[in-house]
Amino acid sequence: MIEINYYLLVSAVLFSIGVIGVLVRRNAIIIFMCIELMLNSINLTLVAFSSFLGNINGQIFVFIVMTVAAAEAAIGLAIIISMFRNKESLNIDEINILKW
């Protein structure tokens, strides 16, 4: 029988790796994939609590998070495509016209 804190520890490790990826990498697509990794680790936490507490609400929430992730992927990749069309680059250090 595996305790809940091991599942939560795996989820925390995955979340931190996602944070490192978002902060260190400069490629917009890889940053986007790291955000998906973080969402996925949170889903793991929700499912773990859902089955250890015997409560279905956590899995419903995972369902909604997956919908949001799919919508976010579609919109974000469309933004990346139009960004690439205008700047010919995916480096987020060069996309800085809103920053001063």
Partner 1 sequence: MKFDLETVLFISLSVLSVVSAIYMITRKNPINSALFLILNFFTVSGLYLLLKAQFIAIIQVLVYMGAIMVLFIFVIMLLNLQFQKKKLESYSYKSLTSILLAIMLFGILGYTVYFGFEGKFKGMSDKALEIGTAEKLGAELFTNYSFPFELASFLLLAAIVGAIVLAKKKFE
Looking at residues 41 to 80 of the shown chain, list those that interact with partner 1 (rule: CB under 8 A): 41, 43-44, 47-48, 50-56, 59-60, 62-64, 66-75, 77-80
Nearer Cβ to partner 1 (2/100) = 2
Nearer Cβ to partner 1 (7/98) = 7
Nearer Cβ to partner 1 (81/100) = 81
Q: Which two tokens stand for residue 18?
A: 């996602």
Q: Which two tokens stand for residue 89?
A: 């680059």
Asked whether 80 and 28 are in contact (CB, 8 A), the reply is yes
| Rounded Cα distance, 32 and 35, in Å | 5
87 near partner 1, judged by CB under 8 A = no
Q: Any bridge partners for residue 27, and if so which?
A: 91
